[in-house]
């Protein structure tokens, strides 16, 4: 049983070991949706919501699988839970805000194949977090993901007006920015308390 304080878990998940910039999880939406700040905030919100729900479900499933002595079903059951949560979020967003639904487009169903969410479920199981710790971990990871997405979106909005050689444009430039951002996030390493 892990007894890490909740504040440490939150800081570690959101800043020190940022899911996007340190673990490379969720790079696809990171490169795909992060063109506008507005959209990336909403995308971050959707991902955080899915993260929290699937982290809670993953905890329950883990307990059940340990009881049933069937660890090999872990991956399959996690992915099924995540896929159905995403389906639920998709329906909610479609009902509540059709405009947002159109903006997010294909990237909404693709949250299912967002490694950040499955990664979160697997990491929390490996670390042996309890249910409250898992909840905080999911919140922290979601906050970190949103932060990285919003930061890169802001930088990319500025880059629109910059003079860049044609060869550099597109993914290569975004990756360069992400690299520099990742370097600057290493400054948070001192915050990580053990």
Partner 1 sequence: MREGGDRSARTGLLKMNFEGQTTDEFIKGLWRDNPVFVQVLGMCPVLAVSNTAWNALAMGLATAFVLLMSNILVSSLRNFIPRQVRIASYILIIATFVTITDYAIQAISVELHKSLGAFISLIVVNCLILSRAEAFASKNGIGRSIMDALGMGVGFTFALLCLGAVREIFGNGSIFGWSMFPDQFQEWIVMILPAGGFFTLALWLLIFNIIKERKAS
Using CB under 8 A, which of 10, 49, 123, 135 touches partner 1? Answer: 123
* Nearer CB in complex with partner 1: 69/166: 166
Decide: is 155 part of the binding site for partner 1 (CB under 8 A).
no
Decide: is 172 part of the binding site for partner 1 (CB under 8 A).
yes
Decide: is 76 part of the binding site for partner 1 (CB under 8 A).
yes
Residues 43-62: x where in contact with partner 1 by CB under 8 A, - otherwise, as a string: --------------------
* Nearer CB in complex with partner 1: 23/137: 23
Stretch that binds partner 1, among 52-60, 113-121, 136-144, 148-156 (CB under 8 A): 113-121
Total residues at interface with partner 1 (CB under 8 A) = 40
Q: What is the DSSP string of the chain?
A: -----HHHHHHIIIIIT-TTTTT--SHHHHHHTTT-HHHHHHHHHHHHHHHHHHHHHHHHHHHHHHHHT-GGGHHHHHHHHHHHHHHHHHHHHHHH-HHHHHHHGGGTGGGGG-HHHHHHHHHHHHHT--HHHHHHHHHHHHHHHHHHHHHHHHHHHHHTTS---GGGTTHHHHHHHHHHHHHHHGGGGGG---
Using CB under 8 A, which of 68, 69, 95, 126 touches partner 1? Answer: 126
* Nearer CB in complex with partner 1: 158/184: 184
* Nearer CB in complex with partner 1: 75/88: 75
Cα separation, 78 vs 35, in Å, equals 30
Q: Residue 83 CB, nearest distance to partner 1 (Å)?
A: 6
């Amino acid at each position: 049983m892990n007894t890490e304080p909740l504040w440490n878990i939150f800081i570690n998940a959101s800043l020190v070991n940022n899911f996007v910039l340190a673990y490379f999880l969720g790079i696809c939406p990171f490169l795909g949706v992060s063109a506008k700040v507005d959209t990336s905030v909403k995308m971050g919100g959707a991902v955080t919501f899915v993260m929290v729900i699937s982290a809670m479900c993953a905890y329950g499933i883990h307990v059940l699988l340990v009881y049933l002595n069937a660890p090999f079903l872990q991956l399959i059951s996690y992915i099924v839970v995540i896929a159905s949560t995403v389906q639920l979020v998709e329906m909610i967003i479609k009902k509540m805000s059709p405009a947002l639904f159109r903006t997010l487009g294909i990237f909404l169903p693709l949250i299912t194949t967002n490694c950040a969410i499955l990664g979160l479920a697997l990491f929390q199981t490996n670390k042996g977090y309890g249910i409250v710790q898992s909840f905080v971990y999911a919140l922290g990871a979601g906050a970190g993901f949103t932060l990285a997405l919003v930061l890169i979106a802001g930088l990319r909005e500025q880059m629109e007006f910059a003079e860049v050689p044609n060869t550099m444009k597109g993914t290569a430039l975004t990756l360069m920015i992400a690299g520099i951002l990742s370097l600057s996030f290493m400054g948070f390493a001192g915050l990580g308390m053990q």
